[in-house]
Amino acid sequence: MTSANQAFLTDFTSMSSIGATDGGGVDRQAATVADGQNRNWFRGLVEGLGFSVRYDSVGNQYALLELVPGAPWIAVGSHLDSQPLGGRFDGAYGVLAGAHAAKRAQAAMANATDPAQFNIVVINWFNEEGCRFKPSMMGSSVYTGKITAAQALDTTDPDGVTVREALEAIGTIGDFELSVAAYVEIHIEQGRSLEDSAISIGLVESTWGANKYEFVVNGDQAHTGATIIADRQDALLGASALVVAAREIALKHSTAEHMVITSCGEFNVFPNSPVVVASRVNLLVDVRSTDPDVLAAADADLHARVEEIEKMANVRIERGAEHAWGAKSYDQAGLRLAGEAADSLGLSHGVVRTLAGHDSTNMKDIVPTIMLFVPSVEGISHNERELTRNEDMVAGVELLSEVLLRIVNGEFVSASDTTQDLITESTVDA
Amino acid sequence: MTSANQAFLTDFTSMSSIGATDGGGVDRQAATVADGQNRNWFRGLVEGLGFSVRYDSVGNQYALLELVPGAPWIAVGSHLDSQPLGGRFDGAYGVLAGAHAAKRAQAAMANATDPAQFNIVVINWFNEEGCRFKPSMMGSSVYTGKITAAQALDTTDPDGVTVREALEAIGTIGDFELSVAAYVEIHIEQGRSLEDSAISIGLVESTWGANKYEFVVNGDQAHTGATIIADRQDALLGASALVVAAREIALKHSTAEHMVITSCGEFNVFPNSPVVVASRVNLLVDVRSTDPDVLAAADADLHARVEEIEKMANVRIERGAEHAWGAKSYDQAGLRLAGEAADSLGLSHGVVRTLAGHDSTNMKDIVPTIMLFVPSVEGISHNERELTRNEDMVAGVELLSEVLLRIVNGEFVSASDTTQDLITESTVDA
């Protein structure tokens, strides 16, 4: 293994000790103490390598590596926050890989005849996971104008702490602003298609479409030990039937060509006492598919089932917040560039779709974007046992370096087409 | 309305302000600040009426009214703790009714030719509800030897606070001990059979049989946005299917003669994050019936369904703690005595069964026990809208007074058959 790759693995091991859990994962939820420790660790690392670090108004962290003063910026990034009892690779791998790849591209340019056409910024997007503060992909959603900074900052966690308060508590908020000309992200696959086909690199061609719903099932509180069935309006029964229905819909609507995946990850019961029929359950249900028509059919079925469940459990089901994105393609030129870069390094690659949302899902809507995957062992993710092998991690860093090098050389987007961006210097972040 | 009944209602209104909720109910969960306030309020009230108050080692509160020094004791009681957002009648009515009835029986005996054969103790049983600390009916379960004091005291709430710590914090724990010769309890029905048949008083002839289970559904944590259905071991799906199955079992096994009721009141999902397939759900399921054979058939069906659900959701379901009681009868002589007392007052009455557990469910296993119900409007209970009308409350106090009077006169149990009980004076309760 090259010393550069060994250095990457050493840094990765070091980062993985921050917020480490007993089961071999990490717990670094957004803007917690552990997330703050990790952000500062990363800042220390990259400042030592010649980057300068800034924060924007919603806590996105920018590590700036200037190759050519005044040139426009190319971004590479992912997120350092994790799920509770999450894996140590999800997001964190991509941010660290971005920093190493940027340095390698810088070193390669030092020997080049022509100067670089772009500078490189590594972005650690705030709160991609969305477990402490909803919605997920919060930092990149603000950056791409999908939600406002004020909405994000006023969001509260279950204890009533706002994003603003939490970011101020860990001291990683500022007023930096930066436009970028293109975006690259590398991430673990979190599925097992690469492993199953023994391929090193996934080139992401599109996202799945997804409809996400927040349902509120309203029943009436009653005594479990005294209320006969006919008198019950059992919110827990209604919500449970909805979870079961969601799975049935996934199985019913999946075809050989287009899979449907339904999920429910959060489910809160009130008052949740052993002898009380629940008065209310709040739950999140999402429906995803690679095909818009299949998704629409599954979605219609879900809403028909909601009406049936209302009658069966004698409850009223409200649909609260919702959030949808269509199946969308990544940049085709980017897909070709990444494939050629992989070929040049002798890395096997294949085209994949991403079922999960990533910050690149947002970024691809505003700038040309490339998304790369490295394999996950057994597809296990959001789990302390999440694993990407060392050889796959370093292959990803090598590919990312090559992709960045090609981009700063003007092979993806043109510097002359890009508005010269002003960097607003941060005044409050230290 | 008599001034005595008016005094009862005034005291009831005063007590209902302690731990009052915006919705007209109370939140006085066991050994919380509000429960402590109410215990002290009750102590102040009854000490002013000539009772003396003691606590035993698990926080049961004894209000002693001595009619004849050295005579054995008859207990009347219920519980002052409530559900979160509970009603103001459940339990609290019975304790206050007991104190008023004891005073009325004492006053009636002052005019009697023969002296009383018993003294009267009003017992406020600790933690009948079981919402903060499980199991329910904790104080009477220790008193009747079903669990040990040590087990009860070491039980923790969701924040890790033990019963011992919580009782010490509100200062209502001691070392008092007292044996009693008989027990009487009056309670709101929490169902609507009395209201539906326009009857004032329910004479409880038996409890329903109940099997209560704590299930742990074990899946595997995974990313909702990246894990295909075939790879999921979704604990939330398994637990939801179990909730739905429980309802199906109730409907399937209920007959015209014997109803089956199934419930799930507590349901906790881990890690409960919006984008994570749940790794574990802990839930409580109970199955109740008036008939032991019907109960056994429903129970067998539930366990068969557990195995099916394990396969369907690819999860492993463990059965944790369980707790069962058979359908059992109350004392037949007590039923007759209460019916005659009601007749003497011109109160309509009927025989009912109790679906819910009460402290009398425990007490009837060790001493002759009488259980009385007053109507609940629309059967609503464990709900802030729980209501028992003033006229029904005062009718109940009048009947309870008459029943107690007959018991202290030796019409239920014989004082000579009763071991002379020593009162161990409390040393640590203040």
Q: What is the mean pLDDT of residues A122-139?
A: 95
**Closest-CA residue in chain A for B272?**
A266
pLDDT digit string, tens, across residues A189-231: 998 899 999 999 999 998 888 899 999 999 999 988 778 899 9
Question: With an 8 Å Cβ cutoff, is A359 touching chain B?
Answer: no
Residue B324 parent element (H or E): strand B316-325
pLDDT given at position B208: 86
Q: What are the residue ranges of CATH 3.40.630.10 in chain A?
A: 3-207+328-417
For residues B335 and B205, is the Cβ–Cβ distance under 8 A? yes
Q: Give me the residue from B250, B277, B356 closest to A226, CB to CB.
A: B356
Tell which wins on pLDDT, A64 or B421.
Answer: A64
Per the CB < 8 Å rule, is B265 touching A189? no
pLDDT given at position A319: 92
Q: What are the residue ranges of CATH 3.30.70.360 in chain B?
A: 209-325
Of A157-171, B2-16, B222-236, the least confident: B222-236
E-assigned strand segments in A106-240: 119-124, 182-188, 201-207, 209-218, 222-223
Q: Give me the residue from A225, A227, A383 closest to B357, CB to CB.
A: A225
pLDDT given at position A290: 84
Q: Which residues of A touch B382 (CB under 8 A)?
A: 221-224, 226, 273, 275-277
Q: Which residues of A touch B268 (CB under 8 A)?
A: 269, 272
For residues B397 and B94, is the Cβ–Cβ distance under 8 A? no
Per the CB < 8 Å rule, is A191 touching B228? yes
Question: With an 8 Å Cβ cutoff, is B131 touching chain A?
Answer: yes
Q: How many Cβ atoms from other residues are within 10 Å of residue B246's Cβ?
A: 24
pLDDT given at position B430: 31
> Which of A92, A77, A87, A122 has its CA nearest to residue A371?
A77
pLDDT given at position B426: 35
Mutate to test the interface with B, among A27, A207, A276 (most CBs of B within 10 A): A276
> Which of B98, B354, B128, B264 has its CA nearest to residue A236?
B264
Per the CB < 8 Å rule, is B244 touching A237? yes
Q: Is B19 left (phi over 0), alpha (psi -120 to 50) or beta?
A: left
For residues A348 and A200, is the Cβ–Cβ distance under 8 A? yes
Question: With an 8 Å Cβ cutoff, is B158 touching chain A?
Answer: no
Per the CB < 8 Å rule, is A131 touching B273? yes
Q: Give me the residue from B134, B271, B277 closest to A274, CB to CB.
A: B134
Q: Give me the residue from A221, A227, A288 closest to B379, CB to CB.
A: A227
pLDDT given at position B117: 96
pLDDT given at position B423: 40
**Amino acid, res. A17:** S
pLDDT at A235 over 70: yes
pLDDT at A422 over 60: no
Q: What is the mean pLDDT of residues A110-122?
A: 94
Q: Could you tell me the two tokens for B319?
A: 């059965």
For domain A209-325, give the CATH number: 3.30.70.360
For domain A3-207+328-417, give the CATH number: 3.40.630.10
Q: Give me the residue from A240, A261, A279 closest to B243, CB to CB.
A: A240
pLDDT given at position A418: 60
Provide the pLDDT confidence category of residue A117 given band limits of 50, 70 and 90: very high
pLDDT digit string, tens, across residues B44-94: 999 989 999 999 999 999 999 999 999 999 999 999 999 999 999 999 999
B345 — phi, psi (to 5°)? -100, 0
Complex ipTM > 0.90: no
Q: Which residues of A touch B191 (CB under 8 A)?
A: 226-228
3-state secondary structure B130-168: CCCCCCCCHHHHHHCCCCCHHHHHHCECCCCCEHHHHHH
pLDDT given at position B321: 75
Q: Report the distance separating Cα B359 and Cα B349, nearest Å.
A: 22
Q: Report the distance separating Cα B75 and Cα B404, nearest Å.
A: 9
Q: Is A248 helix (H, G, I), strand (E, B) or coil?
A: helix
pLDDT at B429 over 60: no
Provide the pLDDT confidence category of residue B274 given band limits of 50, 70 and 90: confident
Question: With an 8 Å Cβ cutoff, is B24 touching chain A?
Answer: no
**Long-range contacts, stretch B156-162, CB < 8 angstroms, 24+ apart:** B157/B132, B157/B133, B158/B132
Question: With an 8 Å Cβ cutoff, is A98 touching chain B?
Answer: no
pLDDT at A429 over 60: no
Taking the CA of residue A15 and the nearest CA in chain B, the distance in Å comes to: 22
